[in-house]
């Protein structure tokens, strides 16, 4: 009898220990608190007083800079020939790259004044936030549109290796009147810190939480204390952080990259893989999440760049920043990959999906602003022990949330898992097409999805 009691006691202790451990691993965490005025500019910032002026900004580069780039592209470059029978399986095909470099040099650069004018077709501004000059587009609906529709402020966030250029077509739709939707938007689209024309942080530790603080402070500076947020890639990670840390400012958060990799989310994904029809609106969307082995194998295969940028960003950044053709190959390979398995081995895939001029606009932004290094440092900061320790995906946000899942994007979280983070998930959709750069590739589809989400937020 004594042995039975001891066994029961030991079993109860083990069960309690396991329950306590699992509960600590999966339960929501409290919201962390941050200093929202940390100085990220040069020097100590001890006597820093932030200027509050907002100044118009024009994209303008001297012709000598463009001529120098053309001279670099005109050099005799040494390309390793692709292996026999290989297209893009080993990275960006050098035969394809040669043709793009010729187009860049002979057709794109001679019309740079036109491309620069296009980039300036939306209004640009700069203001200083926490010691950093932040660049942003501020696109407003026309006065006629304001009379017809309700205007809502929207913070629109890009990712890597994209830039604000990714968002142009989407922005133009957002500020225009549509007969089938009730809202138009006053769009604030910043260059993320260290990207494009926004200053980089000068000290380590500038992760997605700090990016969220700067972006929220930018909106307050412009005059919006309540606003919507939309983003993909790092824009989604940053938007989620804003919604978590400052829910009082966010009217709703819409993402086209709804990933979650918490222990609980991964466990739910594994459980759902045994009976996906119970966790998906239709088996039609099975391939968005399953089979897990194929999904995680693909993720592992494509994440080499991520590991490099998360560990040695300055090494790869310097290699890219000093070599425009290397920069193009590295960036274009990412766009090529996410055209999807039906296209990503085709030589004309990117021209079909994005068109070359917009892609070269995007590369030019990184080249002209020297931000290859400062942009990829964001990976290292977000893989740091400090940021991972925050476990922001386990901090619930009450903000209304909408998720648009495009087929060839990273594996998105199931609603079952997403609701652990966003219990107020009001909009969840799947598309059997499209990839990671939805605003670039399918701006009309993303616009319709976003408008459907806003209707459910009930902003009246």
Q: State the pairing for strand pair 124-129/250-255.
A: unpaired
379 is catalytic: yes
In the set 354, 408, 436, 447, the catalytic residue is: 436
115 contacts 24 by C-beta, under 8 angstroms:
no
Residue of 168, 330, 379, 431 marked active site: 379
> Is the distance from CB of 123 to CB of 139 less than 8 angstroms?
yes
Known catalytic residue at 436: yes
Three-state SS at 124: strand
What span, in angstroms and rounded, lies between the C-alpha atoms of 30 and 390? 10
Q: Active site includes 61? A: no
Whether the Cβ atoms of residue 219 and residue 153 lie closer than 8 Å to each other: yes
- Distance (Å, whole) CA 204 – CA 241: 19
Catalytic residue among 124, 183, 185, 233: 233
Tracing tokens 């083990």 back to the chain, one arrives at: 14
Tell me, rounded to whole angstroms, the distance of Cα 182 from its chain centroid.
27
Q: How far apart are CA 143 and CA 228, in angstroms?
A: 21
Name residue, tokens 């310097």. 318
CA atoms lying within 13 Å on the CB side of residue 245: 24
Distance between CA 331 and CA 393 in Å, rounded? Answer: 28
Contact assessment for residue 418 and residue 222, using Cβ atoms and an 8 Å cutoff = no
Residues acting as catalytic residues? 233, 379, 436
């Amino acid at each position: 009898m004594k042995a039975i009691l001891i066994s029961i006691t030991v079993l109860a202790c083990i069960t309690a220990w396991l329950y306590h451990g699992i509960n600590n691993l999966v339960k929501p965490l409290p919201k962390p608190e941050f200093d929202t005025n940390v100085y990220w500019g040069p020097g100590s910032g001890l006597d820093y007083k932030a200027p509050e002026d907002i100044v118009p900004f024009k994209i303008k580069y001297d012709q000598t800079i463009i001529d120098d780039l053309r001279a670099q592209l005109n050099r005799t470059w040494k390309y390793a020939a692709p292996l026999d029978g290989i297209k893009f399986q080993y990275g960006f095909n050098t035969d394809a790259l040669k043709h793009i470099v010729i187009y860049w040099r002979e057709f794109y650069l001679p019309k740079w004044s036109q491309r620069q004018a296009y980039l300036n077709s939306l209004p640009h501004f700069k203001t200083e936030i926490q010691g950093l000059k932040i660049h942003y587009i501020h696109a407003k609906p026309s006065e006629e549109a304001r009379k017809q529709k309700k205007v809502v402020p929207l913070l629109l966030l890009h990712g890597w290796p994209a830039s604000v250029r990714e968002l142009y077509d989407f922005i133009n739709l957002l500020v225009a009147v549509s007969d089938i939707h009730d809202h138009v938007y006053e769009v604030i689209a910043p260059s993320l810190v260290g990207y494009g024309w926004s200053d980089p942080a000068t000290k380590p530790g500038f992760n997605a939480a700090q990016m969220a603080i700067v972006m929220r402070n930018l909106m307050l500076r412009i005059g919006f204390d309540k606003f919507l947020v939309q983003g993909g890639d790092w824009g989604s990670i940053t938007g989620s952080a804003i919604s978590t840390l400052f829910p009082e400012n966010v009217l709703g958060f819409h993402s086209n990259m709804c990933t979650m990799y918490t222990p609980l989310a991964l466990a739910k994904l594994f459980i759902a893989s045994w009976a996906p029809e119970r966790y998906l609106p239709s088996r039609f969307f099975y391939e968005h999440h399953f089979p897990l082995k194929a999904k995680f194998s693909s993720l592992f295969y494509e994440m080499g760049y991520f590991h490099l940028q998360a560990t040695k960003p300055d090494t790869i950044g310097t290699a890219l920043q000093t070599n425009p053709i290397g920069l193009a190959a590295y960036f274009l390979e990412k766009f090529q990959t996410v055209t999807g398995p039906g296209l990503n081995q085709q030589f004309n895939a990117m021209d079909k999906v994005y068109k070359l001029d917009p892609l070269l606009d995007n590369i030019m932004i990184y080249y002209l602003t020297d931000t290859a290094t400062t942009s990829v440092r964001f990976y290292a900061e977000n893989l740091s022990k400090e940021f991972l320790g925050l476990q922001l995906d386990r901090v619930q946000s009450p903000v209304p949330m909408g998720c648009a899942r495009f087929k060839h994007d990273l594996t998105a979280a199931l609603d079952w898992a997403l609701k652990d983070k966003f219990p107020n998930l009001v909009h969840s959709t799947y598309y059997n097409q499209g990839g990671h750069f939805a605003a670039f590739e399918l701006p009309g589809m993303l616009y319709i999805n976003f408008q459907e989400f806003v209707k459910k937020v009930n902003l009246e």
